[in-house]
Amino acid sequence: MTRVGAIFCPYPQPPENLRDAARSAEASGVDELWLWEDCFRSSAFAAAGAALAWTDRLKIGIGIAPMPMRNVAATAMEIATIDRMFPGRLLPGVGHGVLPWMGQIGARVSSPLTLMREYVPALRALLAGDEQNIAGRYVTLDGVRLDWPPSAAPLVYAAAEGPKTLALSGEVADGTVLDSRHTVGEIAASVSTIRAARTAAGRAGAPDIVAYLLTAFGPDAEARVLADIAEQSPDAVPDDALDRAAVGDPGAVADVVRRFAEAGVDHVVLLPTRDADLPEFFAATGDVTRLVAS
């Protein structure tokens, strides 16, 4: 069954707003709350641990933590520690990071695909409790094994957008995080690429797909979505912008979520516009969750 989540967006939400947001999302019946680690705003793992401590059943997704910022052993330790304290409630994701930001901190790599190819399998193996000996271009591990691995390794997600990264995520990750502002057809094509790469790599089972969906509720939803897109991309608002979002009442948004599910998405995560009232947004997202479940 497709799960419905929401995003606690660091634009414009500061970290001190997370406690009330997480509690509001849980009280509203939202399945998952996803966090962003955008430079230089909020730490992914500190925020995830706090949000899990403030709630009882809400799952917390990290979508995503930039791989170049952390040694893979440190990332494995962060995930394992949180997962042991809150078993089964963390959904960790990693990605290339925004390349100019990675350049600002001296962590930009010349081959992001090579980094993902080395980093994600190593992270998954460490979380499974395996000892790792790797001498790669970017990942070097000499007899590294976690003393306190998770009792059951969580799925590791990789963010992907272009065709090469989509295929690589299917090859090396447990699941893929897809960015917002895609049509249902584009999402379906991405899912097909990921699945084909997973099969070609000889991996059993299906990838777990997360897709963000820009969403606004209420009678002015269309105008708010268009204003949000124009603010971020003033020179590139597509003619089919409203086909790349969900707008209206919870019933209308639930219909879009169902279309995403039919395209192969396992977690549809609603992204509020920047002017959204979070308690109202989470309450409406809870309504969408119940409609989709029914």
Whole-number pLDDT of residue 233: 75
Distance CA 67, CA 102 (A): 10
Please state the separation of Cα 87 from the chain's center in Å. Answer: 18
Q: Cβ distance 213 to 292 under 8 Å? A: no
Q: For 259-274, what is the mean pLDDT?
A: 98
pLDDT tens, position by position, 134-162: 999 999 999 999 999 999 999 999 999 99
Model confidence pTM above 0.75: yes
Q: What percent of the chain has pLDDT over 90?
A: 95
Q: Where are the domains of the chain?
A: 3-293
Q: Among 89, 139, 133, which Cα is nearest to 114's?
A: 139
- Pairing outcome for strands 32-35 and 175-178: unpaired
- Helix orientation angle between 18-27 and 278-293, rounded to the nearest 10 degrees: 30
pLDDT tens, position by position, 45-86: 999 999 999 999 999 999 999 999 999 999 999 999 999 999
Q: For 165-169, what is the mean pLDDT?
A: 98
Cα angle for residues 266, 246, 22 (degrees, 5° grid): 65
Tokens 């500061």 belong to which residue? 14
Distance CA 155, CA 145 (A): 18
| CATH class of the domain comprising 3-293 | alpha beta
Q: Among 128, 130, 110, 118, which Cα is nearest to 94's?
A: 118
Residues in the chain: 294
Q: For 252-259, what is the mean pLDDT?
A: 98
Which alpha helices (H) appear in 179-220, and where do they start and end? Answer: 184-200
The pLDDT-based confidence of 196 (bands split at 50, 70, 90) is very high
The pLDDT-based confidence of 26 (bands split at 50, 70, 90) is very high
